Amino acid sequence: MAPYKEFVKLMLPVEVREHFELIKVDINTYPSDTKTDELGEMHIYLDEDNYTPDNRTDLTPNGFFPEIKINDYPIRGHKVTLHVRRRRWTDPEGHNVSTDWDNIVQEHSRLSPDFVTFLKEMRRELSTDSTLLEEVLLHRR
C-alpha cells in the first residue's frame, strides 16, 4: 500500500479501516475570505473489501449499493466526509445481500460512532465546565 494511503487509513474509524479500501482523497480549500472556521473539506472515498457477508460461499458479486456520506472528525481544520460504498451480493434466489451499516454509521445520523461519542463527551464537558464553555464561545467569535 502506498505510504499516503497507510497514513490516511490511520485517521479513519477502525470499522472503516478494517473493511474498506481507500479509493481516493479530494481536498478542497476554501478561499481566505470565507466566513467559516473551517479551512476546507476533505472527501475520502472508500469501497468495501471483497469479502462476502458471514463468509458465505453461495453469493455472487453484484456491484455496489449507492454510496452514503458519513461525517467524521475534522482534520487540520477541514470538514471530513467519508463516501462509503458497500458491496452488493446476490444469493441463489436472486435476492440482494449486504453487510449492515450498524458499526459504521451511528443510528439515526450520518456520523461515525466514534465522532458521536466524542461529541457527547464534549457536550458533557462543556455543560459541567463553564470556563471551558466560555473559552469555546470566545474562540468562535
Per-domain residue ranges for the chain? Answer: 3-140
Distance CA 58, CA 29 (A): 46
Nearest alpha-carbon partner for 85 in 105, 71, 67: 67
Inter-helix orientation angle 130-140/113-128, to 10°: 110
- Is the model's pLDDT at 119 over the cut of 70? no
- Is the model's pLDDT at 136 over the cut of 70? no
Distance CA 77, CA 40 (A): 7
- What does the pLDDT read at residue 70? 81
* Grid cell at residue 48: 468495501
- What does the pLDDT read at residue 141? 39
* pTM across the whole model: 0.68
- What does the pLDDT read at residue 140? 45
* Grid cell at residue 45: 472515498
